[in-house]
Amino acid sequence: MPNPFKNPLSLFKSPLFHCLFLAGIYVSVQWFNQPPPEVAVSTQEIAAFEEELRKSFGGNQKIDRNKIISQLAEDKIIYNEAKKAGFDRLDTVITRLANVADFLQLVPKDSSLEQRYQAALAMKLDETDIVVRRQMITLFKTALKSSAPTHTPSEQNIQNRYDQNQAQYIQAARYAFSHVYLQQNKQNAGQNDRQQAEKLRVLLVENYIPDADNIKPVMDKAIASGNVFYGGHYFNLQNQRQIARHFGQSFAENIAEAPLQQWSQPIASAFGLHLIWLSESTPAKPKPLSEVRLSIERELSMQAQEQHYQQHLDRLTSKYKVLLESADGEYKRFDNGIAQQQEGAAQ
């Protein structure tokens, strides 16, 4: 038999080449004509999801039905892809299914882990057990995100992020203060308490104005004219959020209006009334880039990871056809959310 490879032109005349060529065309046509995989969303699943949202967020929560359908379809797609990738063989999944099989007594008590696992698969518990499905979906999503290449933001990107988001990198105004505390008289509260505080303020203004040389001694005497406050009487520079943790939000807002290095009007808190000596305040100002660089780098890296994950997820979902159960019980193509992306990809 002549060797066709000695004469390349004779190869194209070979019956073997013709057979292989036609077979390749047939396989290609079959592959391109293969229908896309499908996932179906039932009205029962939608109703269950809506009920779960109402229980979590209250009955007045506005529910976007299309988003629910898209989420249910996406979870089904991810579950299918996770199963294709072998996530149903992960140790946590095998153990869970084996334990369920044991609980349902699907196999004898002395059965091995693998036997119990196979019994669960035979009953399709990997598809119906909500814990297993959630495990596989979560683990597959995590794997997709972890597959993103390491992203090191450029100096220009870091600078741009800093310049464009100055409001995020503001150091809040801070206040250093001391206070004289008057506890509430529960038997004679209200106006009388405030009158007592006003009288004490007059006393403080007349007798206890500290200067640079005797701040602590004078302030100690002023504090002694009131009641003991077990949270302390001296507070270094703190922002309003930190102050609110000690005294409440209203107190923190009022201290911003207190005059600097003067005795304030009585300011109420949940504990009683306070006369404030605001010794120092610093205005809100942007933090320097050096202080927020690491935070910006993390933000940009997470953003790149999320974009990589979403692109990968979009490629997976675009391969699927999403069917939605209609009022007459038939399943028809869903034309919102994921389905719209499919139509765009098909064009």
DSSP string, 110-176: T--HHHHHHHHHHTTHHHH-HHHHHHHHHHHHHHHHHTSPP----HHHHHHHHHHTGGGGEEPPEEE
Q: What is the pLDDT of residue 144?
A: 85
Q: Is residue 2 part of a domain?
A: no
Strands 38-41 and 321-325: parallel
The model's pLDDT over 131-177, given as tens digits with 9 standing for 90+, comes to 999 999 999 988 888 887 787 888 999 999 998 888 888 889 999 99
Q: Is residue 23 part of a domain?
A: yes
The model's pLDDT over 224-279, given as tens digits with 9 standing for 90+, comes to 999 999 999 999 999 999 999 999 999 999 998 999 999 999 999 989 999 999 99
Q: Is residue 311 part of a domain?
A: yes
Cα 155 to chain centroid, rounded: 27
pLDDT of 103 over the 80 cut: yes
- Looking at the 3D structure of the chain, how many domains does it have? 4
Q: Is residue 6 part of a domain?
A: no
Query: Which residues fall within 8 angstroms of residue 78, CB to CB, at 6 or more apart?
Result: 137, 140, 141, 313, 316
In the structure encoding, which two tokens stand for residue 269, read together?
A: 């808190």
pLDDT of 336 over the 70 cut: no
Same domain, 193 and 338: no
User: Do 36 and 44 touch, CB atoms closer than 8 A?
Assistant: no
Same domain, 222 and 332: no
Nearest Cα to 204, choosing from 193, 219, 194, 191? Answer: 219
pLDDT of 180 over the 90 cut: yes
Q: Is residue 329 part of a domain?
A: yes
Same domain, 59 and 107: no
pLDDT of 14 over the 80 cut: no
Any alpha helices (H) in the chain, and if so which ranges? 8-12, 15-33, 43-57, 65-84, 91-103, 113-122, 125-128, 130-146, 155-164, 191-207, 215-224, 240-247, 249-255, 289-317, 338-346
**At 160, which amino acid appears?**
N
Q: Is residue 179 part of a domain?
A: yes
Same domain, 207 and 274: yes
Same domain, 275 and 319: no
Same domain, 58 and 111: no
Strand partners, 177: 235, 278
Whether this model's pTM surpasses 0.85: no
Alpha-carbon distances of 212 from 29, 216, 220, 279, rounded to whole Å = 91, 9, 14, 11
Same domain, 277 and 308: no
Same domain, 178 and 74: no
Residue 26 confidence class, pLDDT cut points 50, 70, 90: very low
Same domain, 208 and 312: no
User: Do 279 and 177 touch, CB atoms closer than 8 A?
Assistant: yes
Nearest Cα to 153, choosing from 293, 309, 324? Answer: 293
Q: Residue 253 sits in a domain of what CATH number?
A: 3.10.50.40
pLDDT of 33 over the 60 cut: no
Query: Which residues fall within 8 angstroms of residue 322, CB to CB, at 6 or more apart?
Result: 38, 39, 40, 41, 69, 73, 333, 334, 337, 338, 339, 342
Structural domain of 103: 86-135
Greater confidence (183 vs 186) lies with 183
